[in-house]
Structure 1
Amino acid sequence: MAFSLTAKNLELRGSWLVAVVQKPDGSWTFAKLNLNDHIGNNNGEFDLTMDRWYNSAEDWSCHLRGPLLCAQLRTIAGSYAPERCINLDLFVKNHDGSLEFQDLTDSLLLYAGCLTLRDDAHLRGLVAGRDGKFSPSEISLDEHYGNINGRFEAGERHYSRSGRNFRLEQGSGGGAVRLVGELMDCEGAWHDADIDLSDCIVNQNGKLAFLKHDEEFVREDWTPTIAEQIPVMGEAVAGLHLGEDNEDRFYYEIASNTNSADATVGIAIGTFIGRAIRCPAIGMVVGARLATSPDAFVDTFTASTVEDPEVRSRIREAALGRHVFETLRDMLADDTVAAAAELLGASLDPEIDSWTAGLVAWFEKQELAATVLTDLSLHAMLNKVIKQLQGETVEEWTKALEQLADIKESTATLKLTPPPPPPVPEPEPEIEIEDVVPAVVEGDAEAKELQAPEPQVESAEVQDSSSSAAPQDPQAVAPASQDQDSATKAQDPKIPTQQPPAAAAASSGTVSTRQSSDAGGSVSKGGDKGSLRGNGNGAACAKGWHGIFGITTFRRSWARSKQPKVVTTS
């Protein structure tokens, strides 16, 4: 029972329940359980007394929702019934690192609770049925117990006619359900009497029944059968259900093994609820839900945004009450929810608030925060849960949950995240000049044609008019004469010539082709042929020199389409 407390990574693979479960030594191991061997289909409903439910289930509908097994099962008519759910925490337990199924038994101490005595002779309570849900049941004790000379006797009748002051007494952790009262003997004297009802009152498929055993009956108690077998923290959980005096030790054991204040509070609250309604099974399932749900308790940061302490307490109560309500609703039969809620309210023990105060005091001793329990009355919260189960609406909870949703939405909206780092630009690939411009080799006509500029065909008249219209700047004529002198030196072998184009390309390194084309300083069509050209470094290049990819070269006489020169006269 409550296997989800010590399990993680729950999956449903076909009909197999698969999980990673905790062993008594604290380590984790892989475990699986075939649910098809323990659960069946009874006309579209889960049935714990049958098997092979998966064979008649709609494949796509089979899934887990936490510890809830959900599916649509085929009916006798051949159609599929609406989705049904069964809480596996009620029947699956982690036994020494392996998953085991706890079959539905007839013991009154295991799958029954909220027992009350009505009119001194009628026993009422919630009993788990074949469908895995709790529903109300009632039995007349007067038809099965009598008064034999001042003492109770099973198999007799009408004890109430000669008795008084009848009541039920049962321990928080089970063990016995005793009918206590005063019975009159044959002489008219009154005697205190009691009898353990769990010897003969059993659970027969969800109904209370009387069954007198001829030999000793082994009663399965919740404490040794379920609670003590929970790995790591089983004894602590059982101790809290029994209500022993040394509860501080149990709180410490649970806290040291869960490593979470919320999980400790969740298990403790579930235990308190089980003690308050005298049904450990229901309380343990509620505790498992609270301990494993991340949003069962309002976190400190969200609560700190509410300045009004009364509103903050109401929000915490509503968040916690919602999970308790949903867990109880899933464990109750659909057509008996209101009647079951009435039994819950009739059996509720108001001492639950004093138990909560003891837990808060322990947290304070450990210098730990237990803000979730501050100004929280579990008795008042459970009364509101019971109202909801009966169909009433708790308006203050509705408003509180809406306010909580708004706070979470605004918190998520205002949550600041650091901007992403700026992208690092990738370096531009370097273009080797040798890969773009082939080296000029004597006799290579194609290379020479690549090196030569495009011919510019212009009429002589346009050139004459442009030359006559161009202003005669003495600074523009001087570089032209320097250009002619340089040409003379280049033709004379005794005079050192300029570095050849191939060597110039090697020494200049890599350059951008666009920069070289712009640096060439090409003359616009119809412009002055004697104007200066840029060489890429801001220096002037005289006419007769050409820049190819930023490399200054001398135009030899073998260059294609020789440009006509403009002669100026002083």
Structure 2
Amino acid sequence: MAFSLTAKNLELRGSWLVAAVQQPDGSWSFAKLNLNDHIGNNNGDFDVTMDRWYNTAEDWSCHLRGPVLCAQLRTISGTYAPERCINLDLFVKNHDGSLEFQDLTDSLLLYAGCLSLRDAHLRGVVVGRDGKFVPSEINLDEHYGNINGKFEAGERHYSRSGRNFRLEQDASSVKLFAELMDCEGEWHDAEVDLSDCVVNQKGKLAFLKHDEEFVREDWTPTVAEHTPVVGEAVAGLHTGEDKEDHFYYQIASNTNSADATVGIAIGSFIGRAIRSPAIGMVIGARLATSSDAFVDDKIASTIEDPEVRSQIQEAALGRHVLETLRDLFAEDTAAASAELLEAALSPEIDTWTKGLVDWFEKQELPATVLTDLSLHTMMNKVIKQLQGETVEEWDAALEQLATLKKTTATLKLTPPPPPPEPEVIVEEEVPAEDSEPKELAVPEIQVESPSPVQEAPISQESPEVPAAPQEQDATTQTQDPKVPGALPATTGSSSGTVSTRQSSEAGGSVSKGSNKDKASLKGNGGNGNGAACTKGWHSIFGITTFRRSWARSKQPKVVTTS
């Protein structure tokens, strides 16, 4: 039961349920179960007392919605019925790391819930053949009598000589308490365990007296204790033992999730409050595995009004509980089932929740979702919606929650603007007035005519400094083969020309000179190749460097000699 609590990656492959299930040691392994061997088709409805449902199902309609199996099944007339659903968490269990199907039994402790007593009638919801809870009741006065101040099964009319009747239920018994009169007119305290003779006959409460000792299927050893990792803790929370702090710690340490701990605990509280461990375990599995069952703490912290925050958290949590109950209750009997649920609901559920909040505070863990939440109020609103009423404040709260989530998602997708880049201030180093810069040896440049000149290719002797770009003239230019690296001359020139080198900043033109010229350049702060002069050096944050990659000067004008 509630296999999805310890399973992930659920798939339906044909009629096979496939999942990764948790082992007793906490590891995960592959497991599968053929649902076709345990579920059948009863005139278009699922039937857990038959088999081979997949043989008469519309292929495209078979799918899983979480742990809920959905399909369209063929009817006797040959047509396909509307989609039917069955919650597999009611029947499939993880038994020590393997998937097993729990058959529908007649035990009142396993597949019944919301039991309450009105006059001499025992009322409650029981699971039928289609896997849905349906309301049912039985008149106990027709099956139990008073024999000298004691209950006797198989007799009648115990209520005529009794008073102060009450019903008490735990995981292993459903007991009826009363004061019965004996033959002398004295009153005696009496009790009887109804689970010995009252059974679930495929969706109907019935009386069945056993001639020999009857071995009842108890919910705790049959279901919870065989669930790996968290089974013992879940069983303890449903029975209401005094070691609840230990159970919270066990769930938290094994799931490593505060939301999963809260979800399992809330499901256990609901199951205990409505006297149905099966329903509580299914609800706990839904809350523990849903990513949006609880409002994110970051979103909740943005809501300043505590009343609004409580409504939003209540609506988000109640929506999942409502959807789970709708999957469990038969659609045509949902209102009647909700009435029985309301009659069985215990207000002590808020006291148990307060104990969970206190434990979270001791562990210094966040429990914002439970701080201002009343599970009793939430369950009453869930019951109203099952009965067909509309809770308007929930609709408004869920709409506001959707807006907050959309805003948060938008903020996550939009990155913050990058910080402004630091401004780099480059200051040109100005020589002192009293010191005159040394003049560079600049050879004379002879040009035949004042026509524009294209820059020569860079000499191999000075590869460090690239030449400044220059607009190319439309006039055809030729390279003088006699002078390596010579400046291209204009058409018709006969006089010798030399190449020009430029400063990247000042633009002083120099020719390829002798070694003496190179030494002269070196002594004036150049790079040894005649490619730099004093005006090309600048200071950046007090560090003297040559500016060449981040600034380019305009092309210097050509100097002509007459």
Task: State yes or no: 1:147 paired with 2:129.
Answer: no
What is the CA–CA distance in structure 2 between the aligned matches of 1:93 and 1:310, rounded to whole Å? 39
Q: State the Cα distance separating 1:50 from its structure 2 match.
A: 0.4
| Contact 1:520/1:534, CA 8 A, preserved across alignment | no
| Equivalent residues in 2 for 1:443-522, closer than 5 Å | 476=448, 519=472, 521-522=474-475
Q: Shift in Å at residue 505 of structure 1?
A: 13
1:186-245 Cα deviation digits (max 9, x unpaired): 222222111111111000000001111111111001111111111011111111111111
Q: Provide the residue aligned with 1:243 in structure 2.
A: 240
Identity %: 78
How many Å separate the matches in 2 of 1:200 and 1:262?
40
Give per-residue Cα distances to partners, 1:9-42, cap 9 Å, x unaligned: 1000000000010011111111000000000001
Which of 259, 262, 271 is the aligned partner of 2:259?
262
- Which of the pair is proportionally richer in helix? 1
Amino acid at match of 2:376: H
SS class of match (1:415) = helix
Secondary structure of 2:235's counterpart equals: helix
* SS of residue matched to 2:343: helix
1:381 aligns with 2:378: yes
Deviation track 1:410-469 (CA, whole Å, cap 9, x = no partner) reads 222232445999xxxxxxxxxxxxxxxxxxxxxxxxxxxxxxxxxxxxxxxxxxxxxxxx
Number of paired residues? 454
Counterpart residue identity of residue 377, structure 2: A
Q: Distance in 1 between matches of 2:450 and 2:32?
A: 99
Given that residues 306 and 372 in structure 2 are in contact (C-alpha distance below 8 angstroms), is that contact kept between their aligned partners in structure 1?
no
State how far apart, in whole Å, the 1-side matches of 2:417 and 2:14 are. Answer: 43
Q: 1:321 aligns with which of 298, 303, 318?
A: 318
Structure 2: distance between partners of 1:36 and 1:317:
39
| One-letter identity of the residue aligned with 2:107 | S
The reply on whether 1:94 has 2:91 as its aligned counterpart is no
**C-alpha offsets along residues 520-564 of structure 1, whole Å, 9 cap, x if unaligned?**
8446xxxxxxxx7799x994513269xxxxxxxxxxxxxxxxxxx
TM-score in terms of structure 2 length: 0.77
Name the amino acid aligned to 2:246: R
SS at match of 1:186: coil
User: Structure 1: 5+ residue runs without aligned partners?
Assistant: 422-473, 480-503, 510-514, 524-531, 546-570
Quick one: distance in 1 between partners of 2:297 and 2:450? 87
SS of the equivalent of 2:172 reads coil
Matching of residue 192 in structure 1 with residue 189 in structure 2 = yes
Q: 2:489 corresponds to which residue?
A: 541
State the partner residue of 1:252.
249
Q: 1:176 aligns with which of 173, 178, 197?
A: 173
Structure 2: unaligned runs, 5 residues or longer? 419-445, 452-457, 464-468, 494-562
Q: What RMSD, in angstroms, separates the aligned Cα atoms of the two structures?
A: 2.8
Q: TM-score, normalised by structure 1?
A: 0.76
Deviations 1:324-367 (A, max 9, x none): 11111110001100000001110001000010000010011111
Secondary structure of 2:248's partner? helix
Paired with 1:397 and 1:519, the residues of 2 have a C-alpha distance of 77
Query: In the aligned structure 2, how far is the partner of 1:508 from the partner of 1:43?
Result: 95
Q: Give distance in 2, aligned partners of 1:538 and 1:313.
A: 87
For residues 393 and 345 of structure 1, what CA distance do their matches in structure 2 show?
17
Q: Is the 8 A contact 1:520 1:533 kept in 2?
A: no
- For 1:482-538, what per-residue CA distance to the aligned partner results, in whole angstroms no more than 9, with x for missing partners? xxxxxxxxxxxxxxxxxxxxxx999999xxxxx99x858446xxxxxxxx7799x99
**What CA distance in whole angstroms lies between the structure 2 residues aligned with 1:386 and 1:165?**
29
- CA separation in 1, counterparts of 2:263 and 2:450? 99
Q: Which position in structure 2 is the counterpart of 1:67?
A: 67
For residues 260-284 of structure 1, the C-alpha deviation after alignment (integer angstroms, 9 at most, x for no partner) is: 0000000000000000001000000
Which is higher, the Rg of structure 1 or of structure 2? 1
Aligned to 1:167: 166
Deviation string 1:169-189 (CA, Å, 9 cap, x unpaired) is 112xx2111111121222222
1:361 matched to 2:378? The reply is: no
C-alpha distance in 2, partners of 1:45/1:417?
Answer: 49
Contact 2:173 2:195 in 1 (8 A): yes
Using the alignment, how far apart are the partners of 2:406 and 2:447 within structure 1? 77
CA distance in structure 1 between the partners assigned to 2:108 and 2:488 by the alignment:
111
